């Protein structure tokens, strides 16, 4: 099997040659469902009199790509346009990757005071931990192209590398298990 990788406009194009549909689909499924990512999962709202209900505010925070773990704080008073860059690190190592994601518009006398904690998990648990969107194109039975676009705090290359590591580990575990039944 040969693999050629091309980067273009925030996407990673992977050309697999002399491969099987099973291998390409296994790699695609691992990228979507098994690569660990970090998202804001726990939100403790101390004060919120904005136009957004606490649940919607927490949902929006969960859509912001982050890396690492720890605690973030959001304390802001209006009038203000609240963006992801307003989240401040309290402890740990949490990086907000895009500081320009809008969260809510606060009017005068409106305020938000909350604490947020990211958690690492995988897309199998919930789609919000999905690391990437992966499209595929069958050129012929032995040539398959994958197009990877990150929807997490990981780069496309990190997603590919981690996916290949997971696939290698799964193959190794399968080989070990199947060796127990060689006598059949």
Q: Which domain holds residue 68?
A: 38-121
What is the number of structural domains in the chain?
A: 2
The domain spanning residue 27 has which CATH number?
3.30.1360.10
Average pLDDT over residues 131-158: 94
Q: Is residue 183 part of a domain?
A: no
78-130 confidence digits (pLDDT tens): 999 999 999 999 999 999 999 999 999 999 999 999 999 999 999 999 999 99
Are both 74 and 114 inside the same structural domain? yes
Complete edge-to-edge strand list for the sheet that includes strand 11-17: 2-8, 11-17, 143-150, 132-140
pTM of the entire predicted model: 0.86
Domain boundary among 76, 92, 121: 121
Query: CA 94, CA 1: separation in Å to the nearest integer?
Result: 38
Are both 113 and 73 inside the same structural domain? yes
Cα radius of gyration rounded to whole Å, the chain = 21
Are both 101 and 75 inside the same structural domain? yes
Whether residue 55 is predicted with pLDDT greater than 90 in this model: the reply is yes
Give the model's confidence band at 37: pLDDT under 50 very low, under 70 low, under 90 confident, else very high: very high
Q: Across the strands, what pairs with 16?
A: 3, 144
The domain spanning residue 115 has which CATH number?
2.170.120.12
Are both 117 and 79 inside the same structural domain? yes
Q: Is residue 70 part of a domain?
A: yes
Give the model's confidence band at 184: pLDDT under 50 very low, under 70 low, under 90 confident, else very high: low
Are both 31 and 56 inside the same structural domain? no
Q: Is residue 44 part of a domain?
A: yes
pLDDT score of 168: 96
Are both 65 and 102 inside the same structural domain? yes
Are both 100 and 148 inside the same structural domain? no
Q: Is residue 24 part of a domain?
A: yes
Give the model's confidence band at 183: pLDDT under 50 very low, under 70 low, under 90 confident, else very high: low
Region label for 9, one of left (φ > 0), alpha (ψ between -120 and 50) or beta (otherwise):
left
Percent of the chain with pLDDT over 70: 99
Are both 94 and 132 inside the same structural domain? no
- State the helix-helix crossing angle for 21-33 and 156-179, rounded to 10 degrees: 120
Are both 43 and 107 inside the same structural domain? yes
Q: Are 89 and 75 in contact (CB under 8 A)?
A: no
Q: Is residue 182 part of a domain?
A: no
Are both 28 and 52 inside the same structural domain? no
Are both 94 and 46 inside the same structural domain? yes
Q: What is the mean pLDDT of the chain?
A: 95
Q: Is residue 68 part of a domain?
A: yes
Length of the chain in residues, anyone? 184
- Lowest mean pLDDT of 7-11, 34-38, 100-104, 106-110, name the range: 7-11
């Amino acid at each position: 099997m040969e693999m050629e990788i091309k980067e273009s406009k925030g996407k990673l194009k992977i050309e697999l040659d002399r491969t099987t549909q099973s291998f390409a689909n296994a790699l695609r499924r691992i990228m979507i469902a098994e690569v660990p990512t970090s998202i804001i999962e726990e939100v403790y709202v101390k004060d919120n009199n904005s136009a957004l209900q606490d649940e919607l505010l927490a949902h929006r925070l969960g859509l912001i790509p982050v890396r690492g773990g720890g605690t973030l704080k959001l304390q802001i008073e209006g009038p203000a346009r609240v963006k992801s860059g307003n989240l401040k690190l309290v402890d740990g190592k949490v990086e907000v990757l895009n500081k320009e994601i809008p969260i809510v518009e606060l009017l005068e006398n409106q305020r938000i005071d909350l604490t947020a904690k990211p958690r690492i998990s995988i897309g199998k648990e919930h789609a919000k931990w999905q690391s990437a969107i992966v499209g595929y194109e069958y050129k012929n039975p032995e040539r398959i192209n994958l197009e990877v676009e990150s929807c997490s705090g990981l780069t496309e290359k990190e997603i590919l590398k981690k996916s290949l590591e997971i696939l290698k580990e799964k193959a190794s575990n399968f080989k070990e298990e199947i060796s127990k039944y060689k006598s059949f």
